Amino acid sequence: MRTILVTGGAGFIGSNFVLEWLSEADHAVVNLDKLTYAGNIQNLEGVADDPRHVFAHGD
């Protein structure tokens, strides 16, 4: 299985990309976000229990 890295994945565009990607592909996602003014972890609630999604809080 392949894994992709998404930076800024808790923001509006990034989170929608992650949600769409996981709904259509079988690849895992490592999601890196600093969670500043634009990042919101609640945008990713739909994949909170998905083992293909790994969230990393960082810069």
pTM of the model: 0.92
Q: Are 59 and 34 in contact (CB under 8 A)?
A: yes
Mean pLDDT on 1-11: 95
In terms of Cβ atoms closer than 10 Å to its own Cβ (0-12, 13-18, 19+), residue 56 is exposed
- Cα–Cα distance measured from residue 9 to residue 30, given in angstroms and rounded to the nearest whole number: 9
Task: Give the domain ranges of the chain.
Answer: 3-57
At residue 1, the pLDDT reads: 78
pLDDT band at 44 (very low <50, low <70, confident <90, very high): very high
For a pLDDT cut of 90, what percent of the chain falls above it?
98
19 pLDDT above the threshold of 90: yes
Instruction: Write out the two tokens for 37.
Output: 């003014």
